[in-house]
Structure 1
Amino acid sequence: MLSVATWNINSVRLRMPIVERFLKEEAPDVLCLQEIKCQEDQFPYKAFEALGYDQIAVHGQKGYHGVATVSRVPLREFSRHDWQDNGEARHVGIELPDHQGMVVENVYVPAGGDIPDREQNVKFGQKLDFLERMTRWADKVDRPTLIVGDFNIAPLESDVWNHKQLLKVVSHTPVEVDTLQRFKDAHGWTDIGREHIHDPERYYSWWSYRSKDWKVNDRGRRLDHMWASPQLAAQSTRHWLREDARDWEKPSDHIPLITEFDI
């Protein structure tokens, strides 16, 4: 069995105490982090090594973005795609040689700003272009692959607290959902989360810091995803999330997701 987790941690150094708690409680074999917000030489390697996660691939950037994959099983880093096409650190790919050469792609899709219009908002156009570059890449994927991370899109009506109110809000607009669907179709990805937590069941992974009481208001969105190649998806045995992590001390606004594979 192999377990893989993904979590937009929103600064790995600031939130190392809750990362340590998560690793001790869930002990996934692999953890993919997004928005680590540090350069590679600033990453807390020793803290992860002390927890048994001594296999580490980091694609960092000063102050912003950044992704890292840590593991207690052997890994090999093999790719860093610039799907933003501007040098930002938003992807790192690794393979697991002891697990049928399984590939784990860790990605942080741009948020896209506040205005869902390419002409009025450059960031929104960059987000759509990022997804189009991912789509061209996905069309050529030929290995058992798991792509995880903060996609910054909640595609289904049940992935948001109010579908009608969010139709014009970046992350749930029709153009974003359609663009993400093209990416999904390019490789025939399976949305593992929704294979195990069936639509229309409530399933959120993010709640804004702006909400005074995130649990009472429950205005969540499913922005974080774990998608797998068809054959690999068939080997997933369990998928769950740690919603309680949103309530831990100094929490991220995202929560971790975990999938277990028989591989």
Structure 2
Amino acid sequence: MPKKTAAKPISLATWNINSVRARLPLMKAFLDAHDPDILCLQETKVRDDQFPHELFEQHGYTTRLIRGQPGYNGVAIFSRLPLQLAGKLNLAGRDDCRHIAATLPDGTVLHNYYVPAGGDVPDVTKNDKFAHKLDVLAEMTKWSAALKKKAGREILVGDLNIAPLETDVWSHKKLLDVVSHTPIETEGLLKMMAARGWVDAVRHFVPPAETLFSWWSYRSPDWEAADKGRRLDHVWVSPQLQDSLKSARVAKAMRGLEKASDHAPVIITLDSAG
């Protein structure tokens, strides 16, 4: 009987592209360089009937699941593996295209989220955007707790717009009252992780003591030298998938290209169950 060959690890990338049509050359550069098997995008900013499919077709993404709206939000999943649409959640009472899910061939369910940024003022009485962000986070925490009861195989990716650890921001003390790193947000995100037992796939390889960012503001004239970043983009896996993780990295170089997104892609590899 012939020996069964080991399945090739799957590479999965998540990226807030900040308008897919405006950044097609950037997207092409990324796909040429990194060639992920599965690609999840956030903030595509295009309605479904105007989505630029050609580039993704050329790179072999035979499965393309999109959920968009004009000029705002939008999420998408592209894959060379045959995926099935697994759902589109509306968060905190709004149909604003912030979630899409797909089932992988091995039964793993992949969730792609774009959590609201929350505006500039971290006060729910003065800022409706911040209040909505916290409502979304609370709803996702309940959702995570429900997933735990099912004990399935899940992957969560996306721009969660929260940097939970002190080493996920350039200055913990200076950003304590800045939206994305306020205590109510970081504690809320960690509570959400605990509700399912999510494993932070990137911190599985990069120790929590080490600084790590995936976002650098457009406001900085020399973003790389200043390096005032935040880790807003995440990949989490359910405990059942922890042992399948092979590697994780932030493709920081993409932030330095012409007309870059302010986010860099996050890429993981993991074993496939077939």
User: TM-score, normalising length from structure 1?
Assistant: 0.97
Q: CA deviation at 1:221?
A: 0.3
C-alpha distance in 1 between matches for 2:84 and 2:33: 26
Is 1:145 the equivalent of 2:151? no
Structure 2 letter corresponding to 1:63: G
Alignment of 1:165-244 (within 5 A): 165-244=174-253
Once the two structures are TM-superposed, the CA of residue 85 in structure 1 deviates from its matched residue by 1.6
Q: How does 1:40-189 map to 2 (within 5 A)?
A: 40-97=48-105, 100-141=106-147, 142=150, 143-189=152-198
Which structure 1 segments of 5+ residues have no match? none
Shift of 1:84: 3.5
Per-residue CA deviations over 1:132-173 (Å, capped at 9, x if unaligned) read 111111112232111000000000000000000000000000
**Fraction of identical pairs, as percent:** 49
Query: Per-residue displacement from partner, 1:10-29 (whole Å, max 9, x unpaired)?
Result: 00011111111111211111
Aligned AA (2:213): Y
CA distance in 1, matches of 2:250, 2:110: 18
Shift of residue 46, structure 1, vs aligned partner: 1.8
TM-aligned CA deviation for residue 128 of structure 1: 0.5
Distance (Å, rounded) in 1 between the aligned partners of 2:92 and 2:18: 19
Q: Which runs of 5+ in 2 are unaligned?
A: 1-8
Aligned pair count reads 261
Contact 1:3 1:258 in 2 (8 A): yes
**CA RMSD between the two structures:** 0.8
Q: TM-score, normalization: structure 2?
A: 0.94
Of stretches 223-232 and 20-29 in structure 1, the one that deviates more from structure 2 is 20-29
Deviations 1:215-258 (A, max 9, x none): 11110000000011011122101111110100111100000011
SS in 2 for 1:210: coil
